[in-house]
C-alpha cells in the first residue's frame, strides 16, 4: 500500500458542540493512522468559495444531491458571518499512512437519511432530517473529507496554500458577553498518549470540553531538547532542593542495609544536602527525555534545536477563567492525589506520566505559549514534504 495524506475538517458546529475529542478518538483508533498535523482555520470567503467549487465530483460515491447539499452547507456555514464579518472556527486534521484516504472515509461514513445506527462519525455526530415531501429540513455533516486520494491531494493543497493567511491561532472568532474577560491557556497532551493508536488523546480533549472553553489553536508538536530545557527550566531548581529529604531518607536506608550500622540524623541530612541536587538534576533530565526523546547530555548544540522524537498535541483554550477551569479538570500533578473525574485520576500513572500539562497562571501561559509556538505552520510543511512545493 502507498503512503497517503488524508484530511478531516471538523465543522464549526462540531467544534461549538465540543465534539472534537470524540471525533479524534474514533479517527485514531479505527484507522490506526498517524496524526501528522493539526491546524485551526478561520476561513476567508475566498477560501470557502474556492473549496466549495471542488465538492461536486463524479468520483464521489455519494448521491449528487448530497454532494450539492455539502457544497451549499460549506458556503453557508464555513463563510464569515454575513452581518458581522466574524470568521468561524474550523479545525483541520492531517493523517498519514497506508491507504489513508479510504480508511478515513470509512470511519467518517457517507450521509444517508435512512441510517439509524452509530457506526460512523456521521452516524453519531451528523444529521440529515427530511420532511414529508422528502425536502431537507436540517443538515449537519459533522466533518468533511475527500472521497479519493486524487481529490484529497487537490483539496489538501488548497487548504495548505491558505494555511498562513487563514490558519494558526485564530482571533476574534468567539462572542463574549459584556464584561467577560477571556484568558488563553496552554494544554499539552503528553507523549504517553501516543505510544500506540488509542482513544486517549481524544478522550483527554473530551474531558477538557467540560470547561466550556473554546479551542483557538492546535498543533502536533515534537518538543526539541532546547524547548524542553526552557519550558521546564523553572522546575529544575525546585527539584534540586525539594527532594533533599526524600534522597536523605532513601540514602540512609540503603547505606545502613549495605554497611550494617546506623547513620545518625545529622549525617542523614548531610547526605540529603550532598545528593539531593544530583538526584534533582537526574530527575530533570528524565523529564526532558520524556518530552523530547533525548536528554541534554545525549545531544550536541545542533541536535538540541531539532524537533524531538516524542509527539504531543499542543492546544490553546480561550474563555473566561481559562487557566483555573483547565487546571480544575486536569487535577493535581500526582495522579494518586487527583480527585475522581479528573484527567490525571483517569489517565495518569505517575507524577511525570500524568496525561497532560496545563499552564498554572496567565504569566506562565504566556511564557509557555512563546516556547511551544502553537501558531507554527507544521501543517503546510508536512503537505509540502509529501507533495512538493505548493
Query: Which residue ranges make up each domain of the chain?
Result: 3-223+311-387, 228-305
**CATH number for region 3-223+311-387:** 3.30.70.141
H/E stretch holding 143 reads strand 143-144
DSSP string, 221-262: E---HHHHHHHSHHHHHHHHHHTHHHHHHHHHHHHHHHH-SP
Which pTM value belongs to this model? 0.93
Give the whole-angstrom CA distance, residue 360 versus residue 238: 16
Q: Which tens digits make up the pLDDT trace of 84-98?
A: 999 999 999 999 999
- Give the distance from CA 154 to its chain's centroid: 25
Q: Which tens digits make up the pLDDT trace of 205-239?
A: 999 999 999 999 999 999 999 999 999 999 888 88
Please compute, for residue 387, the number of CA atoms within 13 A of its CA located in the half-sphere on the CB side: 23
Confidence of residue 115 (pLDDT cuts 50, 70, 90): low
Confidence of residue 116 (pLDDT cuts 50, 70, 90): low
Report percent pLDDT > 90 for the chain: 76
pLDDT for 1 equals 61
Under a CB-based contact definition with an 8 Å cutoff, are residues 115 and 126 in contact? no
- In this prediction, residues 156-174 reach a mean pLDDT of 97
- In this prediction, residues 332-360 reach a mean pLDDT of 94
Report percent pLDDT > 70 for the chain: 99
Give the whole-angstrom CA distance, residue 216 versus residue 39: 9
DSSP-assigned beta bridge partners for residue 356: 189
pLDDT for 162 equals 98
Q: Is the pLDDT of residue 385 over 90?
A: yes
Amino acid at each position: 500500500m502507498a503512503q497517503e495524506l488524508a484530511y478531516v475538517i471538523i465543522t464549526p458546529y462540531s467544534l461549538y458542540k465540543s465534539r472534537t475529542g470524540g471525533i479524534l478518538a474514533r479517527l485514531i483508533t479505527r484507522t490506526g493512522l498517524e496524526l501528522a498535523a493539526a491546524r485551526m482555520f478561520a476561513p476567508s470567503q475566498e477560501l470557502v468559495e474556492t473549496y466549495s467549487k471542488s465538492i461536486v465530483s463524479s468520483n464521489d460515491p455519494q448521491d449528487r444531491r448530497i454532494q450539492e447539499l455539502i457544497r451549499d452547507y460549506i458556503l453557508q456555514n464555513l463563510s464569515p458571518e454575513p452581518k458581522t464579518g466574524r470568521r468561524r472556527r474550523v479545525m483541520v486534521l492531517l493523517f498519514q499512512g497506508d491507504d489513508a484516504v479510504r480508511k478515513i472515509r470509512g470511519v467518517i461514513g457517507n450521509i444517508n437519511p435512512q441510517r439509524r445506527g452509530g457506526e460512523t462519525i456521521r452516524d453519531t455526530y451528523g444529521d440529515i432530517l427530511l420532511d414529508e415531501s422528502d425536502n431537507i429540513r436540517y443538515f449537519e455533516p459533522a466533518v468533511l473529507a475527500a472521497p479519493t486520494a486524487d481529490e484529497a491531494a487537490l483539496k489538501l493543497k488548497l487548504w495548505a496554500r491558505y494555511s498562513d493567511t487563514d490558519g494558526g491561532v485564530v482571533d476574534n472568532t468567539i462572542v463574549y458577553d459584556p464584561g467577560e474577560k477571556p484568558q488563553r491557556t496552554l494544554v499539552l497532551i503528553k507523549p504517553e498518549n501516543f505510544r500506540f493508536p488509542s482513544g486517549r488523546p481524544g478522550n483527554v480533549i473530551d474531558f477538557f470540553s467540560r470547561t466550556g472553553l473554546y479551542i483557538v489553536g492546535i498543533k502536533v508538536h515534537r518538543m526539541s531538547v532546547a524547548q524542553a530545557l526552557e519550558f521546564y527550566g523553572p522546575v529544575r531548581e525546585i527539584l534540586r532542593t525539594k527532594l533533599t529529604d526524600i534522597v536523605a531518607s532513601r540514602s540512609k536506608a540503603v547505606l545502613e542495609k549495605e554497611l550494617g550500622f546506623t547513620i545518625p540524623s545529622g549525617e542523614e541530612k548531610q547526605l540529603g544536602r550532598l545528593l539531593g541536587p544530583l538526584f534533582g538534576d537526574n530527575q530533570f533530565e528524565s523529564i526532558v527525555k520524556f518530552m523530547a526523546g533525548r536528554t541534554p547530555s545525549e545531544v550536541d548544540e545542533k541536535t538540541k534545536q531539532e524537533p524531538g522524537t516524542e509527539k504531543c498535541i499542543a492546544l490553546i483554550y480561550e474563555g473566561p477563567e481559562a487557566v483555573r477551569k483547565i487546571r480544575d479538570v486536569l487535577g493535581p500533578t500526582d495522579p494518586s492525589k487527583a480527585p475522581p473525574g479528573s484527567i490525571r485520576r483517569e489517565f495518569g500513572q505517575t507524577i511525570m506520566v500524568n496525561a497532560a500539562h496545563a499552564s498554572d497562571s496567565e504569566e506562565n501561559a504566556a511564557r509557555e505559549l512563546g516556547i511551544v509556538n502553537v501558531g507554527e505552520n507544521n501543517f503546510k510543511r508536512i503537505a509540502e514534504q509529501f507533495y512538493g512545493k505548493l
